[in-house]
Amino acid sequence: MSVARGGRLPGAVDAAMARLNTSVDIDCELWREDIMGSIAHARGLALAHVITEEEAAELVRGLTEVAGEIERGEFAWDPAREDVHMNIEARLTELCGPVGGKLHTGRSRNDQIATDLRLYARRRGRETVAAITELGSAILGQAEAELDTVMPAYTHLQRGQPSRLSHHLMAWQEMLWRDRQRLEDAITRLNECPLGAGAVAGTGFPLAREAVAEMLEFARPMRNSIDATASRDFLMEVASTLAILGVHLSRIGEELVLWSSQEFGFVNLADTFTTSSSMMPQKKNPDVAELVRGKSALAIGAATALLVLEKSLCLGYGRDLQEDKRPIFDAFDGALVCLRALTGAIATARFSRERMRAALDRGHLCATDLADFLVGKGTPFRAAHHAVGGLVRLAEERGVELGELPADELGAVHPSLGDPEVRRVLDPAQAVDRRGLLGGPARSRVVEAIAAARRAWSADGS
């Protein structure tokens, strides 16, 4: 029976209630943070002269021993002890005797779990920042390798303008860069120490809050005990950030699925990132990309769940908050497994330069360039756009490309269009490098962008 029921509720809980109440199968994930926090608390108690230095040393020794047992898989988690905190405290007391009962002085599970969750979010957040950086690096590698691969830029999944693969990959990279920044902001904001807040209104013991915060590498103690124990906006923020990251990974996944289709044929994923079918022997499916899309749906569900969970709680701590663990654990696990698999898949992907290049040939991709050419000859853009649109319509009816219309028909629309220069305007390869402004797909601009990104990503994250 859980020691937390104490003398007030000496009996055990109802069996159906026990199944609802016990959380150790999930929150045992926090054991490292729980022990780290307890060690700091024990040392803090000694600093505040609430326990002796010897008692603190004994507690630290015991906690270290418990950590070793867990690490080695020798620890027997007991559902009857409810949660990670009580499992560890109970084992500590078995190992140390009555001094174990001094660890929880001036502390509550409410400030303890808030501390554990912040340590956890900080650790997993930093792992995620590193994994985003790895993926960014893999993308930059391909952007460098495919610098001369031209392809259409699409809007509405219709071919729009001539572009290059590196430019497209750099768009992926921009999204991920912001994802990293967002996560770093969230980590900075959550890096405060709840310990000392007690159950809700602090404690009468003169705890050394700054010192304990420092031991745990928090930037500072939290400033209000009620807020410290009742607030979970750090989880909502992290989960939202991971959901946005998930959306970006899903968009990358969507493109990989599309590009892997026989119809596009733009990319060939390595066999090691694909699977076959149990029925259709010919299949090689882009599962890595589909699973990433799928996990992203779950990340949105997790962010939603955490927002809903907190929405109507009055202060301070309410037991509803037990349910915040599964969503945040799943969100981090999902993000990390997706980032790592996608990093490998992208690094090993082979792009079909031929198929991409060939896609420039149909779709009147230089229609904008033709309108711009007319602008250069003095036609207002809107009129030029209208004229070229009419030509496209004509070409479509004939089943030809814009450039395949006879010169006299072009000239009939506007004298300048009879100009032989028009053929050059309609050459997609030249059209890519014409887009030489900042942020455009011209080779020199993309080279600059890659170099700048390399510098940014390799700077220290936090």
User: What amino acid positions are annotated as catalytic residues?
Assistant: 156, 277
Q: Which residue lies nearer to a copy of itself by CB, 36 or 371?
A: 371
The answer for 206, left when phi > 0, alpha when psi is -120 to 50, beta otherwise, is beta
**Shortest gap between Cβ of 139 and a copy of itself (angstroms)?**
12
The window from 29-37, 58-66, 67-75, 201-209 that contacts a copy of itself (CB under 8 A) reads 201-209
CB of 55 closer than 8 Å to CB of 99: yes
How big is the site for a copy of itself, counted in residues (CB under 8 A)?
211
Q: How far is the CB of 56 from a copy of itself (least distance, A)?
A: 14
CA angle 44–50–55, rounded 5-degree value = 75
Q: Whole-angstrom Cα distance, residue 75 to residue 87?
A: 10
Nearest approach, Cβ of residue 368 and a copy of itself (Å) = 5
Q: Is 26 in the site for a copy of itself (CB under 8 A)?
A: no
Cα–Cα distance for residue pair 130/461, rounded to 1 Å? 8
Given candidates 281, 408, 420, 459, which one binds a copy of itself under the rule CB under 8 A?
A: 281
Q: How far is the CB of 119 from a copy of itself (least distance, A)?
A: 18
Stretch that binds a copy of itself, among 32-40, 72-80, 117-125, 325-333 (CB under 8 A): 325-333
Instruction: Give, for 305, the enclosing helix (H) or strand (E).
Output: helix 287-311
Backbone angles phi, psi at 251, to 5 degrees: -65, -40
Amino acid identity at 442: A
Which of 66, 70, 88, 302 forms a contact with a copy of itself (CB under 8 A)?
A: 302
**What is d(CA 8, CA 11) in angstroms, rounded to the nearest whole number?**
9
Helices 31-47 and 109-145: crossing angle, nearest 10°? Answer: 130
Minimum CB distance to a copy of itself, residue 379 (Å) = 9
Q: Which of positions 209-268 make contact with a copy of itself (CB under 8 A)?
A: 209-210, 221-231, 233, 236-237, 240-241, 243-244, 246-248, 250-251, 254-255, 257-258, 260-264
Q: What does the block give as tokens for 27? A: 């929150």
Give the residue ranges of DSSP H helices in 191-232: 209-215, 225-230
Q: Which of residues 358-397 bind a copy of itself (CB under 8 A)?
A: 359, 362-365, 367-372, 375, 380-393
Tell me which residues in 129-188 interact with a copy of itself (CB under 8 A): 153-163, 167-168, 170-171, 173-175, 178-179, 181-182, 185
Q: Cα-Cα-Cα-Cα dihedral of 45, 48, 54, 56, to 10°?
A: 20
Of residues 391 through 410, those in contact with a copy of itself by CB under 8 A are 391-393, 402
Structure tokens at 35: 């022990």
Q: 91-120: which residues touch a copy of itself (CB under 8 A)?
A: 93, 98-110, 112
